[in-house]
């Protein structure tokens, strides 16, 4: 092969902008994001967004901000043209949403864009166009004070990008979500989002934060949220968080804002998770939490991500501590009763139960045992009421729980998941996975407390696992901690490890997945600056879950009895470590009422 003559060329600015556009602008929602941020930076109190075809045909953002005069309009579409940053030092304390001076140039290079603007004290306005990178002269135009940016035919001449756009419905969904986050972040600003005749969002200026949440996510959610605030340090925190019983399958309602910017920040996300630890089940159950943080811009670096969605904290562990503490305390105070332990433990499980009760048991896992959901609503789950009330209030009074246990007779395993048992005057349903997890969680914690490490089960043949180079290196670093957790693992070549021993408690046949889980937990924990105790307890959750019998595992009656006996030895066997109830009791009285045997 012949080496081509070295020809390094400076790229044409137009090409540069198109490349940059890929970073800043990848779909209609990112155009809307940049334009709305500009409007906010210009002091707008009212922002009106109109789109057609999910933004592919048209995006128009109108604001009542301070506008641009003709000289500014001449530069607005130039790259690296910004009024917000002049020196490198400015980057260390960015107080505006934008600062790179790239957005308008990028957008103009991949669409037909027009800005019409009028400053507040000018008698009339001006206009400038950018058609796929060629910028027109600025001309006078009729305008009201403020700015209107119109973006048509996004990516029409950039097929490589156009083809990645989804259906108008999907693109509109992204825009809608984005706008609802802006609405929460800036409750004093009026927002409107419409497509054709359909109005997606309309909120007046100067609403309270909670009123905004109500507006955007509905009263159903807003009415259950707990307000939290902490202004004792930096960042200051204002948050609205859901009770542990109100969870979602995805994290869409777990939102973090820093100085008005929506961020995906691992540190804060982890702190939220920690606050809810053992109150909300892991593995897909996410609490609802809107967390608004403010701090001196100098304490964070926002210039680490093209779309500014990620930030770097000067002192991440401080932010972590503030968020975790404030949320955890609020969850504790919301349910009067026993103290909650920030380090996890049983009291917190009880707390979840008490909390669920306080919040109205109607929201807890539904119980339509054969009944229609409406019949359950009509008679608001008496079963859970009494059961939970008993649980939450009578633990201290040492109920004759063990006496009851002696009379428990296993009848069957139903739906592959629930143990059906009978006592003298009740039917009891037990979630086998949740109960077993509860048992293991306690056994593991007791062992750690008493012996300082977990028992190891040596393997006859080492198990070689290909983990990749990064994880293999991590194993070497974490060897000591892993040993505490019952793992004997050694590097085996560059990207594999040899597992010589596994935690004895780990009875499930998939040590590889369990090891990956632990590494994952350790990695996240390390990044978030957890100390050793916290790291260990973070892994206990995952170990207990991995080791427990799963829903769907067949159980021998002897195993059922042994599980129940172990459970009875615990104080808190009524809920799994994550606060899910483990059992449901249907008393004779309740059954009689249900079947109208009594009047």
Whether the CB-CB separation of 330 and 324 falls below 8 Å is answered with no
Binding letters toward ligand ADP, positions 133-172, x by CB under 6 A: --------------x-------------------------
The only residue of 17, 18, 30, 82 in contact with ligand ADP, by rule CB under 6 A: 82
Residue 420 makes CB contacts below 8 A (sequence gap 6+) with: 410, 411, 412, 413, 414, 427, 428, 429
Stretch that binds ligand ADP, among 31-39, 50-58, 417-425, 477-485 (CB under 6 A): 31-39
Size of site (CB under 6 A) for ligand ADP: 22
Q: Which does 76 bind (CB under 5 to 8 A by kind): ligand ADP, Mg ion, none?
A: ligand ADP
Q: How far is the CB of 38 from ligand ADP (least distance, A)?
A: 3
- Region for residue 463 given its phi and psi (left: phi exceeds 0; alpha: psi -120 to 50; beta: otherwise): beta
Size of site (CB under 5 A) for Mg ion: 3
The only residue of 28, 54, 55, 98 in contact with Mg ion, by rule CB under 5 A: 98
147 binds Mg ion (CB under 5 A): no
The continuous run of DSSP H or E covering 286 comes out as strand 286-287
Q: How far is the CB of 258 from ligand ADP (least distance, A)?
A: 18
The continuous run of DSSP H or E covering 215 comes out as helix 209-217
Q: Which is nearer to ligand ADP, 119 or 413 (CB)?
A: 119
Task: Quickly count: other Cβ atoms within 10 Å of residue 403's Cβ.
Answer: 8
Give Cα 466 distance to the centre of its chain: 30
Question: Angle 316-334/266-275 helices, nearest 10 degrees?
Answer: 30
Question: Would you state the structure tokens that stand for residue 345, as one six-digit string?
Answer: 């433990």
The only residue of 17, 18, 30, 38 in contact with Mg ion, by rule CB under 5 A: 38
Q: Which is nearer to ligand ADP, 40 or 367 (CB)?
A: 40
Stretch that binds Mg ion, among 34-42, 124-132, 447-455, 468-476 (CB under 5 A): 34-42
Q: Interface residues for ligand ADP in 295-314 (CB under 6 A)?
A: none
Q: Interface residues for ligand ADP in 506-545 (CB under 6 A)?
A: none
- Residue 337 CA to residue 352 CA, distance in Å, equals 11
The only residue of 38, 180, 474, 585 in contact with ligand ADP, by rule CB under 6 A: 38
What is the SS3 string spanning 507-546? CCCCHHHHHHHHHHHHHHHHHCCCCHHHHHHHHHHHHHHH
Q: Which is nearer to ligand ADP, 246 or 258 (CB)?
A: 258
105 binds Mg ion (CB under 5 A): no
* Position closest to ligand ADP via CB: 98
32 binds Mg ion (CB under 5 A): no
Burial 253-265 (b: 16+ CB within 10 A, else e): bbbbbbbbbbbeb
Stretch that binds ligand ADP, among 98-106, 151-159, 183-191, 319-327 (CB under 6 A): 98-106
Q: How far is the CB of 370 from ligand ADP (least distance, A)?
A: 59
Q: Which is nearer to ligand ADP, 76 or 353 (CB)?
A: 76
Q: How far is the CB of 91 from ligand ADP (least distance, A)?
A: 12
Stretch that binds Mg ion, among 31-39, 148-156, 253-261, 433-441 (CB under 5 A): 31-39
Question: Would you state the structure tokens that stand for residue 363, as one six-digit string?
Answer: 């929201």
Question: Which CA distances in Å does 484 have to 448, 503, 567?
Answer: 8, 9, 25
Whether the CB-CB separation of 353 and 388 falls below 8 Å is answered with yes
| Number of continuous H segments (helices) and E segments (strands) in the chain | 20, 25
Q: Which is nearer to ligand ADP, 307 or 377 (CB)?
A: 307
Stretch that binds ligand ADP, among 97-105, 420-428, 516-524, 591-599 (CB under 6 A): 97-105
99 binds ligand ADP (CB under 6 A): yes
Whether the CB-CB separation of 271 and 329 falls below 8 Å is answered with no
Q: Which is nearer to Mg ion, 38 or 348 (CB)?
A: 38
- Residue 502 CA to residue 495 CA, distance in Å, equals 19
Q: What is the DSSP string of 362-396?
A: GGSS---SSS-HHHHHHTT-HHHHHHHHHHHHHTT
Q: Which is nearer to Mg ion, 102 or 274 (CB)?
A: 102
The only residue of 84, 157, 363, 507 in contact with ligand ADP, by rule CB under 6 A: 84
- Residue 196 CA to residue 179 CA, distance in Å, equals 17
Q: Which of 287, 568, 596, 286 is nearest to 428 (CA)?
A: 568
Q: Which is nearer to Mg ion, 97 or 392 (CB)?
A: 97
Q: Which of 256, 219, 224, 252 is nearest to 239 (CA)?
A: 256
Whether the CB-CB separation of 457 and 506 falls below 8 Å is answered with yes
Q: Which does 82 bind (CB under 5 to 8 A by kind): ligand ADP, Mg ion, none?
A: ligand ADP
Task: Quickly count: other Cβ atoms within 10 Å of residue 202's Cβ.
Answer: 13
The only residue of 16, 81, 141, 226 in contact with ligand ADP, by rule CB under 6 A: 81
The only residue of 53, 60, 63, 274 in contact with ligand ADP, by rule CB under 6 A: 63
The only residue of 29, 31, 94, 104 in contact with ligand ADP, by rule CB under 6 A: 104
Stretch that binds Mg ion, among 103-111, 169-177, 215-223, 497-505 (CB under 5 A): 103-111
Whether the CB-CB separation of 6 and 91 falls below 8 Å is answered with no
Whether the CB-CB separation of 283 and 396 falls below 8 Å is answered with no
Contacting positions for Mg ion (CB under 5 A): 38, 98, 103
Contacting positions for ligand ADP (CB under 6 A): 34, 38-39, 42, 63, 65, 67-68, 76, 81-84, 98-105, 147
């Amino acid at each position: 092969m012949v080496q081509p003559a070295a020809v390094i060329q400076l790229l044409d600015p137009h090409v540069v902008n198109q490349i940059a556009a890929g970073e800043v602008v990848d779909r209609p929602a990112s155009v809307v994001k940049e334009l709305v941020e500009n409007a906010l930076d210009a002091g707008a109190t009212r922002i009106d967004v109109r789109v057609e075809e999910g933004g592919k045909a048209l995006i128009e953002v109108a604001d009542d901000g301070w506008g641009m005069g003709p000289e500014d309009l001449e530069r607005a579409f130039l790259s690296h043209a910004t009024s917000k940053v002049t020196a490198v030092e400015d980057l260390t304390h960015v107080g505006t949403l934008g600062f790179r001076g790239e957005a308008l140039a990028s957008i103009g290079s991949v669409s037909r864009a027009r800005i019409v603007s009028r400053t507040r004290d000018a008698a009339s306005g001006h206009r400038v166009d950018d058609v796929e990178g060629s910028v027109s002269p600025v001309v006078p135009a009729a305008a009201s004070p403020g700015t209107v940016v119109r973006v048509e035919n996004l990516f029409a001449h950039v097929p490589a990008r156009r083809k990645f756009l989804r259906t108008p419905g999907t693109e509109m969904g992204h825009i809608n979500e984005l706008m609802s986050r802006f609405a929460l972040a800036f409750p004093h600003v009026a927002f409107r989002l419409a497509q054709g005749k359909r109005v997606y969002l309309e909120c007046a200026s100067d609403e309270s934060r909670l009123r905004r949440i109500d507006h955007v996510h509905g009263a159903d959610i807003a009415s259950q949220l707990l307000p939290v605030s902490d202004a004792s340090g930096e960042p200051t925190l204002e948050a609205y968080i859901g009770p542990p019983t109100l969870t979602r399958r995805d994290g869409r309602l777990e939102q973090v804002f820093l100085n008005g910017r929506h961020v995906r920040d691992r540190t804060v996300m982890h702190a939220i998770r920690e606050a809810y630890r053992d109150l909300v089940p892991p593995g897909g159950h996410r609490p609802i939490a809107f967390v608004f943080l403010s701090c001196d811009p100098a304490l964070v670096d926002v210039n680490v991500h093209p779309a500014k969605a990620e930030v770097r904290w000067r002192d991440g562990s401080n932010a972590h501590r503030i968020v975790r503490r404030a949320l955890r305390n609020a969850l504790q105070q919301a349910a009067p009763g026993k103290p909650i332990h920030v380090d996890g433990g049983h009291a917190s499980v009880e707390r979840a139960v008490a909390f669920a009760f306080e919040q109205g048991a109607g929201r807890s896992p539904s119980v339509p045992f054969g009944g229609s959901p409406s019949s359950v609503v009509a008679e608001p789950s008496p079963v859970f009421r009494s059961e939970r009330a008993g649980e939450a209030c009578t633990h201290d009074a040492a109920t004759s729980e063990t006496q009851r246990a002696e009379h428990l007779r296993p009848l069957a395993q139903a739906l592959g998941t629930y143990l059906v048992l009978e006592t003298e005057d009740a039917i009891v349903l037990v979630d086998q996975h949740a109960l077993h997890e509860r048992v293991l969680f306690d056994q593991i914690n007791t062992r750690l407390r008493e012996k300082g490490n977990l028992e190891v089960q040596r393997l006859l043949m080492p198990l070689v696992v290909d983990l990749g180079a990064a994880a293999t290196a991590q194993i070497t670093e974490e060897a000591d901690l892993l040993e505490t957790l019952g793992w004997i693992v050694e590097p085996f070549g560059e990207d594999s490890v040899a597992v010589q021993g596994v935690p004895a408690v780990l009875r499930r046949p998939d040590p590889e997945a369990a090891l990956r889980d632990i590494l994952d937990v350790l990695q996240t924990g390390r990044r978030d600056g957890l100390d050793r105790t916290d790291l260990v307890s973070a892994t206990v959750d995952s170990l207990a879950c991995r080791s427990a019998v799963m829903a769907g595992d067949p159980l021998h009656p002897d195993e059922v009895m042994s599980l129940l006996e172990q459970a009875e030895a615990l104080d808190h066997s009524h809920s799994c470590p994550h606060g899910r109830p483990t059992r449901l009791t249907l008393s004779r009285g309740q059954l009689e009422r249900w079947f109208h045997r009594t009047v």
